[in-house]
Amino acid sequence: MKLFSLFLVLTFISIFSFGQKEKLDVFFNKADVFMSMNVTNGLVDYQEIAKQRIALDDLILEINTLKVISVEDKSYQKSFLINAYNLLVIKGIIDNFPVQSPKGIIGFFNRKKHEVADFGLVTLNELENDLIRKVYMDARVHFVLVCAGNSCPPLIDEAYAPSKLENQLQVQTKKSMDNPDFIRVNAKEVSISEIFKWYEEDFVTKGSRVIDFINNYRKEKLSSKSKISYYNYDWSLNSQDVFQKEGIKSNILEFTPSKLMGIGQWDVKLFNNLYTQTKSADDNQKITRNESRQSYFTTSIEAYTGITKSSRLNVGAIINLKSNIGNNASALDVFNFKTEQGISRAGISNLGLALKINPFKKLSNFSLQTNFFFPVFKDQAGSFYLDKRSYVWENRFYYDKSFGADKFQVFAQLDLTYNFGELSKDASSDENSGERFANNSLAFPLAVFLSYFPSQNFTVYINAQQYQLVPTVEGGFGQEFTVAGIGAKHQVTPRLNLEISSSIFLRGTSSGLGKTYNLGLRYVY
């Protein structure tokens, strides 16, 4: 009788276990379809999932209710827990979408509890550390568990399934070890993910090192003498968007002013600047309010193209158009583009040829641009000021540096500009003396920008500039002023950027003081 009872119990357990395996197989198949539809090149289409989340909610319900502990086949349990982790991470992002990083969600990894089958309520950290790492003691899981950050190993477009789990673990680990973005090798050192630092005990055994683990899966072995460092973990969201779907990176991030175009690429800019002046500072920096408002509008059209495969040499052209008005007119009257004797003036002021160079191959975020401008307007006696009538040689030095997981960027620009030409004519002459006021002078403005990127397609910034104009001949004109401003850029389409900004002249010497309002468009292709 006892033997018969034992037989019945074992039979029931076997049937129950078999039934649970079938349910798990259904779960793996659903997860496989979900991943194939929503993951591309390691990136997740969170926008589409958020629009239609029925499939995700169905999978999460199964994660909550399936019975897994009784299934004796450990590959089923291990596969389930890996998929559960990745799907719960996606759910956590969708529950808070739109969001730029899992780190931006309070308690994402260590507070929020999830019902995971019959294992009970656990956080994502507990799921990873207690139910997976401690149980299976397999360092390869670090290359299949994806935390929604861009520095995570890429999520694959299929589910992890018991029948092929071993092969999937091997393949993903090898891909990570051979990925130059994950294992960054240069002549002096090897820079590796902080995953190897956070979980070092998983990758080393007695007498071995992390580099030994890497070499065990890597095609090109690293030297045992290699110096190891850790690069900062990028927690920005591993999200697909319209730019990534079209295979185009955010040009706000990729093409900073310091970067050059590759061969066949074009960078076209339209920048509009309205400066309206209501005050002025004299030679002693004493500020007085102007008797009448003066406003100056400039449209700059610039186009550059790469002529080398190495993206180290660009050529371009620049056109500047002006519309200026005085007589206490409204600042918006500059958009009438009229020329009235002594009151307003409009026209093309100069044309420029440009050459942009990246002088140091290993310093891609530093570049030099040299421009030469030719005046194309004539002096007009008694007319309103249009622009400096001189040949201008302008040299711009660009440098940018990103930090804080690419959320912040410092950009600096130093200009060295020489204004050629005759000294100012006597006011009684037939020529407009005002348009030659800054000839034979050297200008060297320095501008610094601090940008914050809440997303890869949007940035806000603050900036400051100190401008200095020094005459190179006796009796020449000199001035200086300080400007501060704010602005924002948005990538409207994969190729088009929109920029708006404003600044205020804080102080100066022999200078007008006012405000600027700027609108820019940039098209990169």
Q: Where are the domains of the chain?
A: 2-230, 242-524
Question: Angle 349-350-353 (CA atoms, 0-180°, nearest 5)?
Answer: 165
Question: In which region does residue 501 sit, left (phi positive, over 0), alpha (psi from -120 to 50) or beta (all else)?
Answer: beta
Per-position pLDDT tens, the chain of length 525: 555 454 444 444 444 445 678 888 899 999 999 999 999 888 899 988 988 889 999 999 999 998 888 888 889 999 999 999 999 999 999 998 888 889 888 999 999 999 998 899 999 999 999 999 999 999 999 999 999 988 889 999 999 999 999 999 999 999 999 998 899 887 678 889 999 999 999 998 887 889 899 999 999 888 878 888 888 888 888 887 654 554 445 667 777 888 888 887 889 999 999 999 989 999 999 998 876 899 999 999 999 999 987 788 999 999 999 999 998 888 899 999 999 888 999 999 999 999 999 998 778 889 999 999 999 988 777 788 888 888 999 999 999 988 886 788 999 999 999 999 765 444 444 445 567 778 889 999 999 999 998 877 889 999 999 999 999 988 888 999 999 999 999 988 777 899 999 999 999 999 999 999 999 999 987
* Amino acid 231: pLDDT: 86
The count of other CB atoms within 10 Å of the CB of residue 169 is: 19
Helical (H) or strand (E) element with 461: strand 458-471
Helix runs in 96-209, H state only: 124-126, 134-136, 165-178, 195-198, 200-203
* Amino acid 438: pLDDT: 81
The count of other CB atoms within 10 Å of the CB of residue 428 is: 7
- Per the CB < 8 A criterion, the answer to whether 491 and 458 are in contact is yes
The correct answer on CATH 2.60.120.260 for the domain covering 242-524 is no
Helices (H) and strands (E) in the chain, counts: 12, 20
* Amino acid 241: pLDDT: 64
- pTM here is 0.57
65: its two tokens = 């209710």
CA 52 to the chain's CA centroid: 28
* Amino acid 249: pLDDT: 56
**CA atoms in the 13 A half-sphere facing the CB of 237:** 27
* Amino acid 6: pLDDT: 46
Question: In which region does residue 405 sit, left (phi positive, over 0), alpha (psi from -120 to 50) or beta (all else)?
Answer: left
CA distances to 52, 74, 119, 127 from 30, rounded to whole Å, are 15, 20, 21, 21
467: its two tokens = 């401008």
